[in-house]
Chain A
Amino acid sequence: MFRKREIKKLLQEKPFVESQETNTSSDIPLDSVEFLKIIQQKLHYSADFKTIKISNLTIIYIDTQVNIKELNQNIIGHLKNVQVYTEKNVITEIAVSEIQKSYSMKNGMLSILKGSVGIHIDQTSTLLLINIPTDNNRSLSKPENESQVVGPQIGFNESLATNISLIRRYITTTDLHNERFVIGSRTNTEVSLLYIDGLASQAMVTRFKEKIKSIDVDGLLDSAVLNQLISDNALSIFPQMLLTERPDRICDGLLNGKLAILVEGSTMAILCPLSFIEFFESREDYNVRWPIASFIRLLRIIAMLLSVFFTALYVAALSFHYEVIPQALLVPLGESRSRVPFPPLFEALLLEFIIELLREAGARLPTKVGQTMGIVGGIVIGTAAVQAGFTSNILIIIVALSALASFTTPSYTMGSLIRIIRFPLLFLAGFWGFYGIMFGFCIILIHLLRLTTLESPYLAPFYPPRFADWLDSIVRLPIKFTFRRPQLARPQNRNKYNPDKVK
């Protein structure tokens, strides 16, 4: 804990602002030889640790972490002009904006590890830290996993600073709060909490900060892990916070009073609180006209239901309730199933398994081979399975349809949930028919009612019923009517704009 607090203090230090520490509490040795010895011991004589001595200055850095060009031009190049080295003229000579003074060995070390150059002046107990990290980020690209037709085509990359700048490009206001935390005792990963002051509920922000501070892990490599660590019900299969790589989706959430969390080194940002239905919404719904948006949203909901229940209904109907199938349909069904030696449950499980196999292989394979996978999977296995009498034609249609439907969900995590949840339902249907399916449905319903997202109800706005928010849930009505922010995040300001002035 103590260590974490120290790091936090360091990260909040602003350039040229004297920190609270005084010279007396400094643990940096006055003598530069001793200083160098301690540093090298702490770094275990690391191969990429470099030192330069210029008169009474000791310049230390890790050459894989700093921008060598900038070091040469703006630090060493300038320091050569000076004859007398004091702290003051070192600071004025160096042509880099981010200079910090540190009195603590530990903070200094951490900063050097993250890409700072340290300058120690002999016979002083301060360490000047000049931040010039290497610029080894991937350039911004399209959000591959959440593509949209209408809307911006830019996604987050692995750099926290770039991601925040992307958000600031959309939301230019002084009210945008950015709070830093450090998580992970070994990785010391920087985490940013973003919210708009005056919109986000203070209670929620406090609750969230408590959650983040209570995390005690040794490493945090991705926001997806953080997402699992801070969600209300960690054992549930349902995602309770959104993971997205689209800056516009995050900004939309921020403008509705939600909180966003960005993690250094992660291309996904977390948005919370998020209700169940919002996982089926996409930013694109606001970019197209409202009838189209409403249609697409309804389509997604139907696709979700279809994907979860269709195969199970097929199995149940064929195993127990063939009376419900109309006669005209019973004939082709019987014909296509006449050569299949397995019971419907086994047949469906086999095919679902093959589809999952293809999907997983497709996700792992390089793009060029991926196309071959489609052909092998779709045509070869599909046709062969039917001709070999393994499965019926109709089941192939149903299974393929439900696999397709599961991909219409904009959120990848929700999409995979839909695919997984099918299997228990298949078993229930295979053993107890419609009764089993209904049992599964009731369990899911009660489970959804139990869930909370940042201690707000997960099934909002349906339950508890907030009728004003229904206008922008499974349908999207014209902008004129959806002027209220959803109540889920308990925004401080309910109205987005004056509805009378919007056409």
Chain B
Amino acid sequence: MEVILKMKPNQLVNAFLVFFIIHTTQVGVGLQGFQRIIYRDAQQDAWISVLISGVATSLLVFIIIKTLELYGSTDLYGIQHDVFGILIGKVLNCFYIFYSLLSFFVVLRNYIEVIQAWIFPELPLWFLSMSMLILVTYGINSGVRSIIGISFFSVILSLWLLLFISYPIKFARIDHLLPMFEADLISLLKGAYNMTFTVLGFEILYIIYPYLKEKKKVMKFAQLGILFTTFIYTALMIVAITYFNGVQLEKTVWATLSLFKIVRLPFIERFEYVAITFWMLIILPNLIFYMWSACRGMERVFKVSIKRSVWLFSLIVIISVQLIITRTQVNHLNDLFAKCAFFVVACYPFILFSFAWLKKKVFNKGIGT
């Protein structure tokens, strides 16, 4: 496997699009109801937990980009192959492909869960997953540039949804936030840990990095993306804490969606119907990026073309989606995934970085040796 990737100029995209890539991969199903799980631990100081998780993601992005900068133009599959050798590298690469696929599955299952709970209880699982997979396959087949285009439009076209979050502020009670700084550090950190599932997604940098034009600017725009996401999360957290009272919030599974419920316009009521269906556009880049990084792994490791592996993975997803049916199963899956993802996203970058750094700087070994 070639470690250093040389891209054709017509495959490259501007570095500032990283902002949109990072933002769209982070924002997704987690946003619909992250408030409850944070609030359970950190109570009214939950917004501090959100900020802590923001700082942590920013640090992680820093480490990820530093690891990639050691090589110049490569992706995770190349680095693992180079650092750990052919055999262990291959195992780790397979593991990452599986992780991407699992993320895809979790995002898809959660979105289906929301659709079934709020809008169409009678629509079957296979139909919903199939329709999303059609979009994903179509998106992946149109190439990396178009995929990034989808994430760009996903941000631009869904910004207006944010405006409606200001609607509940009218009914907000600021004293819900008081007393401030009551939670101890452990519960704050616990809350931040619970944010894992919500802030996930920036690991796409590992795969998308070779496709970016000006590598020096990547850090700046990636951090801006993280900043924007953290801002939205914090704002939503504060709105939720001030709008709901404590007992209510602990019982509200999808707090963000419930906030949309009270939006009332002269020609439309029950705005959450619009918001949830529109959420498809927010979910889509998530799904496409995860599926694409899995397929990209297949291409890099096993030299299977992306178009083929999309079909293969779609089939696997359609079958496995039938296995998880009830709400408790979905919750269980989410918890399991969050644990697994916490290791992949929050611990592994440090390990990988130290190995890569040791290999390059201390042992002074060239790439591919």
Q: Which residues of A does B touch, CB under 8 Å?
A: 320-321, 323-327, 329, 432-435, 437-439, 441-443, 445-447, 449-450, 457, 459, 462-465
Tell which of A432, A434, A449, A462 has the most Cβ of chain B within 10 Å. Answer: A449
Q: Which 10 A-B pairs have the closest CB atoms?
A: A434-B277, A450-B142, A449-B146, A449-B149, A463-B149, A323-B270, A438-B277, A438-B280, A326-B269, A324-B270
Q: Which of B259-282 contact A (CB under 8 A)?
A: 264, 266-271, 273-274, 277-278, 280-281
Cβ of B138 under 8 Å from chain A: yes
Cβ of B123 under 8 Å from chain A: yes
Q: With A and B bound together, what is the CA distance between A325 and B267 in angstroms?
A: 7
CB contacts (< 8 Å) of B278 on chain A: these are 438
Q: Are B269 and A446 in contact (CB under 8 A)?
A: no
Q: Are B152 and A463 in contact (CB under 8 A)?
A: yes
Q: Are B284 and A434 in contact (CB under 8 A)?
A: no
Query: Shortest Cβ distance from A313 into chain B, in angstroms?
Result: 10
Cβ of B131 under 8 Å from chain A: yes
CB contacts (< 8 Å) of B120 on chain A: these are 320, 432-433, 435
Q: With A and B bound together, what is the CA distance between A450 and B147 in angstroms?
A: 9
CB contacts (< 8 Å) of A464 on chain B: these are 13-14, 17, 145, 149
CB contacts (< 8 Å) of A435 on chain B: these are 115, 119-120, 123, 131, 277, 280
Which of A325, A437, A462 touches B277 (beta carbons < 8 Å)? A437
Cβ of B357 under 8 Å from chain A: no
CB contacts (< 8 Å) of A437 on chain B: these are 277
Query: Shortest Cβ distance from B291 into chain A, in angstroms?
Result: 14
Q: List 12 A-B contacts (CB under 8 A).
A: A321-B270, A324-B269, A324-B273, A327-B269, A432-B120, A434-B277, A435-B277, A439-B131, A441-B281, A446-B138, A446-B142, A450-B143
Query: How many residues on the B side are at the interface (Cβ–Cβ under 8 A)?
Result: 36
Give the nearest-CB partner of B264 in chain A: A326
Q: Which of B154-192 contact A (CB under 8 A)?
A: 156
Which of A323, A442, A446, A465 touches B152 (beta carbons < 8 Å)? A465
Q: Are B146 and A450 in contact (CB under 8 A)?
A: yes
Q: With A and B bound together, what is the CA distance between A447 and B295 in angstroms?
A: 21
Q: With A and B bound together, what is the CA distance between A447 and B267 in angstroms?
A: 31
Q: Are B269 and A433 in contact (CB under 8 A)?
A: no
Which of B14, B119, B138, B150 touches A434 (beta carbons < 8 Å)? B119
Give the nearest-CB partner of A465 in chain B: B152
CB contacts (< 8 Å) of A324 on chain B: these are 268-271, 273-274
Query: Shortest Cβ distance from A443 into chain B, in angstroms?
Result: 7
Q: With A and B bound together, what is the CA distance between A445 and B285 in angstroms?
A: 12
Give the nearest-CB partner of A455 in chain B: B10
Q: Are A323 and B269 in contact (CB under 8 A)?
A: yes
Q: Are B284 and A433 in contact (CB under 8 A)?
A: no
Q: Are A449 and B273 in contact (CB under 8 A)?
A: no
CB contacts (< 8 Å) of B156 on chain A: these are 462
Cβ of B225 under 8 Å from chain A: no
Query: Shortest Cβ distance from B289 into chain A, in angstroms?
Result: 14
Q: With A and B bound together, what is the CA distance between A52 and B135 in angstroms?
A: 72
Q: Are B273 and A323 in contact (CB under 8 A)?
A: yes
Query: Shortest Cβ distance from B46 into chain A, in angstroms?
Result: 31
Give the nearest-CB partner of B269 in chain A: A326
Task: Taking A445-B150, A445-B153 as given, write out 19 further A-B residue pairs in contact, using a Cβ cutoff of 8 Å, ordered by the A residue number.
Answer: A323-B269, A324-B270, A326-B264, A326-B268, A432-B120, A432-B123, A433-B120, A435-B119, A435-B123, A438-B278, A441-B281, A443-B134, A445-B281, A446-B139, A449-B142, A449-B150, A457-B145, A464-B14, A465-B17
Which of B16, B123, B135 touches A442 (beta carbons < 8 Å)? B135
Give the nearest-CB partner of B266 in chain A: A326
Q: With A and B bound together, what is the CA distance between A199 and B44 in angstroms?
A: 62
Query: Shortest Cβ distance from B225 into chain A, in angstroms?
Result: 15
Q: Are A443 and B138 in contact (CB under 8 A)?
A: yes
Query: Shortest Cβ distance from B42 into chain A, in angstroms?
Result: 34
Q: Which residues of B does A touch, CB under 8 Å?
A: 13-14, 16-17, 115, 119-120, 123, 131, 134-135, 138-139, 142-143, 145-146, 149-150, 152-153, 156, 264, 266-271, 273-274, 277-278, 280-281, 284
Q: With A and B bound together, what is the CA distance between A449 and B120 in angstroms?
A: 30
Give chain A's interface secondary structure class: helix
Query: Shortest Cβ distance from B7 into chain A, in angstroms?
Result: 15
Q: With A and B bound together, what is the CA distance between A449 and B142 in angstroms?
A: 8
Q: With A and B bound together, what is the CA distance between A459 and B280 in angstroms?
A: 21
Give the nearest-CB partner of B141 in chain A: A450
Q: With A and B bound together, what is the CA distance between A321 and B269 in angstroms?
A: 10
CB contacts (< 8 Å) of A446 on chain B: these are 135, 138-139, 142, 146, 150
CB contacts (< 8 Å) of B152 on chain A: these are 463, 465
CB contacts (< 8 Å) of B135 on chain A: these are 439, 442-443, 446
Q: With A and B bound together, what is the CA distance between A441 and B138 in angstroms?
A: 13
Give the nearest-CB partner of B280 in chain A: A438
Q: With A and B bound together, what is the CA distance between A99 and B145 in angstroms?
A: 55
Q: Are A329 and B146 in contact (CB under 8 A)?
A: no
CB contacts (< 8 Å) of A445 on chain B: these are 150, 153, 281
Query: Shortest Cβ distance from A336 into chain B, in angstroms?
Result: 16
CB contacts (< 8 Å) of A447 on chain B: these are 138
Q: With A and B bound together, what is the CA distance between A435 and B145 in angstroms?
A: 26
Query: Shortest Cβ distance from B196 into chain A, in angstroms?
Result: 28
Query: Shortest Cβ distance from A462 into chain B, in angstroms?
Result: 8
Query: Shortest Cβ distance from A453 into chain B, in angstroms?
Result: 15
Q: With A and B bound together, what is the CA distance between A46 and B14 in angstroms?
A: 65
Give the nearest-CB partner of A428 in chain B: B131
Give the nearest-CB partner of B142 in chain A: A450
CB contacts (< 8 Å) of A443 on chain B: these are 134-135, 138
CB contacts (< 8 Å) of B277 on chain A: these are 433-435, 437-438
CB contacts (< 8 Å) of A327 on chain B: these are 269
Q: With A and B bound together, what is the CA distance between A438 and B139 in angstroms?
A: 15
Q: Are B149 and A326 in contact (CB under 8 A)?
A: no
Query: Shortest Cβ distance from B213 into chain A, in angstroms?
Result: 11
Which of A320, A434, A462 touches B274 (beta carbons < 8 Å)? A434
Q: Are B153 and A433 in contact (CB under 8 A)?
A: no
Give the nearest-CB partner of A442 in chain B: B135
Q: Are B280 and A439 in contact (CB under 8 A)?
A: yes
Q: With A and B bound together, what is the CA distance between A237 and B358 in angstroms?
A: 55
Q: Are A442 and B13 in contact (CB under 8 A)?
A: no
Q: Are B149 and A459 in contact (CB under 8 A)?
A: yes
Q: With A and B bound together, what is the CA distance between A286 and B131 in angstroms?
A: 43
Q: Are A442 and B284 in contact (CB under 8 A)?
A: yes
Query: Shortest Cβ distance from B239 into chain A, in angstroms?
Result: 22
CB contacts (< 8 Å) of B273 on chain A: these are 321, 323-324, 434
Q: With A and B bound together, what is the CA distance between A400 and B197 in angstroms?
A: 48
CB contacts (< 8 Å) of A449 on chain B: these are 142, 145-146, 149-150, 153
Q: With A and B bound together, what is the CA distance between A433 and B284 in angstroms?
A: 18
CB contacts (< 8 Å) of B268 on chain A: these are 324-326
CB contacts (< 8 Å) of B14 on chain A: these are 464-465
CB contacts (< 8 Å) of B123 on chain A: these are 432, 435
Q: With A and B bound together, what is the CA distance between A457 and B269 in angstroms?
A: 38
Q: With A and B bound together, what is the CA distance between A446 and B269 in angstroms?
A: 30
Q: Are B281 and A325 in contact (CB under 8 A)?
A: no
Query: Shortest Cβ distance from B189 into chain A, in angstroms?
Result: 38
Q: With A and B bound together, what is the CA distance between A447 and B142 in angstroms?
A: 8
CB contacts (< 8 Å) of B16 on chain A: these are 465
Query: Shortest Cβ distance from A368 into chain B, in angstroms?
Result: 42
CB contacts (< 8 Å) of B138 on chain A: these are 443, 446-447
Query: Shortest Cβ distance from B151 into chain A, in angstroms?
Result: 10
Give the nearest-CB partner of A466 in chain B: B14
Q: With A and B bound together, what is the CA distance between A459 and B150 in angstroms?
A: 11
CB contacts (< 8 Å) of B266 on chain A: these are 326
Query: Shortest Cβ distance from A433 into chain B, in angstroms?
Result: 7
CB contacts (< 8 Å) of B267 on chain A: these are 326, 329
Q: With A and B bound together, what is the CA distance between A437 and B277 in angstroms?
A: 9
Q: With A and B bound together, what is the CA distance between A326 and B145 in angstroms?
A: 41
